[in-house]
């Protein structure tokens, strides 16, 4: 019963995420490693966001919580103070808020809420990228296409 309700919401989430990842991230995905071969913070975000979706699809609460926590942590590390865009930090806050709420929902075993919060999180990826593109200094030219 729980599983069914979960699937009803997870399927549209999967479609939305596929769209967002395609529209928001795909054109820049070619640049996915830093020079020392480490995945960039943003590439790590993408990986965790994908794993989180898998956790939602499989109703694996510890995986959902783990990846939500990792996303929150990466967002803290990626403190973009240097980017001259007033809207920018607002997206960082929104992103961390959605990550925390996703983690909390997973800890409470609330799949629907976790899926909903995950959607907010993914929308924030796209919104922030749009904002960054709108006012991109040379460092973020990678997001322009």
The yes or no reply on residue 132 touching ligand HEC (CB under 6 A) is yes
Task: Tell which one of 6, 68, 95, 101 touches ligand HEC (CB under 6 A).
Answer: 95
State the nearest-atom distance from the C-beta of 141 to ligand HEC, in Å: 9
Half-sphere exposure of 122 (CA within 13 A, CB side): 28
| Binding segment (CB under 6 A) for ligand HEC, from list 9-17, 54-62, 89-97, 100-108 | 89-97
In the complex, the smallest distance separating the C-beta of residue 1 from ligand HEC, rounded to whole angstroms, is 30
| Residue placing its CB nearer to ligand HEC in the complex, 8 or 82 | 82
98 binds ligand HEC (CB under 6 A): no
The two three-digit tokens of residue 67, written as one number: 């990846």
Decide if residue 97 touches ligand HEC (CB under 6 A). no
Tokens standing for 143? 């997001």
For residue 39, the cross-strand partners are 33
Query: Long-range pairs for 72-81 at CB < 8 Å and ≥24 separation?
Result: 72/96, 72/99, 72/100, 72/103, 74/41, 74/44, 74/45, 74/48, 75/45, 75/99, 77/41, 78/41, 78/42, 78/45
Of residues 51, 53, 134, 145, the one with CA closest to residue 88: 134
Using rule CB under 6 A, residue 92 touches ligand HEC: yes
Residues of this chain that bind ligand HEC (CB under 6 A): 25, 28-29, 31-32, 40, 42-43, 45-46, 49, 80, 88, 91-92, 95, 124-125, 128-129, 132, 140, 142-143
């Amino acid at each position: 019963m729980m599983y069914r309700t979960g699937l009803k919401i997870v399927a549209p989430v999967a479609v939305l995420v596929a769209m967002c990842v395609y529209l928001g991230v795909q054109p820049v995905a070619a640049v996915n490693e830093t020079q020392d071969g480490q995945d960039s913070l943003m590439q790590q975000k993408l990986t965790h966001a994908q794993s989180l979706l898998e956790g939602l699809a499989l109703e694996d609460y510890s995986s959902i919580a783990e990846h939500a926590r990792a996303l929150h942590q990466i967002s803290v590390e990626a403190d973009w103070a240097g980017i001259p865009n007033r809207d920018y930090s607002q997206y960082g806050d929104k992103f961390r808020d959605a990550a925390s709420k996703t983690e909390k929902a997973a800890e409470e075993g609330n799949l629907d809420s976790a899926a909903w919060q995950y959607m907010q999180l993914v929308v924030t990826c796209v919104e922030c990228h749009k904002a960054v593109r709108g006012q991109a200094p040379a460092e973020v030219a990678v997001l322009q296409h």
